[in-house]
């Protein structure tokens, strides 16, 4: 199965990637390339909407971990939303769930995104 990515921008520096398909050895590079395009010194947050991801392989997990690491180095936020049971199980088995911000639904993540944008606007106004 392929991977499709729809990138949604909120504010100037917050992105949600709506993913559809599988993140595996044949598709991980597509996700990695999209993340590289988005992540820079102005990026404040990246969210992966995983509601339509049916499978993630070890290389897919590595891609997600790498994105989290790069964003942390830039003092930016990273979170996953709507993890499907099979995908969540992979992160759980690897004991990686505790290191991620995970939201069950997009409205919950939107509140978090709005807070990030509000904090950024307050910093710029000061």
Separation between Cα atoms, residue 77 and residue 63, nearest integer Å: 16
The CATH topology of domain 3-125 is Transcription Regulator spoIIAA (3.30.750)
Instruction: Spell out the per-residue pLDDT of the chain, length 126, in tens.
Output: 799 999 999 877 899 999 999 999 999 999 999 999 999 999 999 999 999 999 999 999 999 999 999 999 999 999 999 999 999 999 999 888 888 888 888 888 888 888 877 877 777 776
Query: What's residue 5's pLDDT?
Result: 97
pTM for this structure?
0.87
Q: Can you read off the two tokens belonging to residue 125?
A: 């106004």
Query: What's residue 37's pLDDT?
Result: 94
64: three-class secondary structure by DSSP:
helix
Separation between Cα atoms, residue 52 and residue 4, nearest integer Å: 10
Strand order in the sheet with 101-103: 3-10, 14-23, 45-56, 77-81, 101-103
Residue ranges of the domains in the chain?
Answer: 3-125
Measured in whole angstroms, the distance separating CA 115 from the mean position of its chain's CA atoms is: 17
């Amino acid at each position: 199965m392929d991977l499709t990515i729809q990138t949604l921008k909120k504010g100037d520096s917050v992105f949600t990637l709506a993913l559809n398909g599988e993140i595996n050895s044949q598709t991980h590079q597509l996700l990695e390339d999209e993340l590289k395009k988005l992540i820079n010194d102005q990026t404040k947050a990246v969210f992966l909407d995983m509601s339509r991801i049916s499978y993630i392989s070890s290389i897919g997990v590595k891609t997600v971990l790498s994105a989290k690491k790069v964003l942390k180095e830039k003092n930016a936020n990273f979170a996953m939303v709507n993890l499907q049971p099979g995908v969540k199980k992979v992160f759980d088995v690897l004991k990686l769930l505790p290191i991620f911000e995970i939201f069950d639904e997009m409205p919950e993540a939107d509140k978090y995104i709005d807070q990030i944008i509000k904090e950024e606007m307050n910093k710029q106004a000061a």
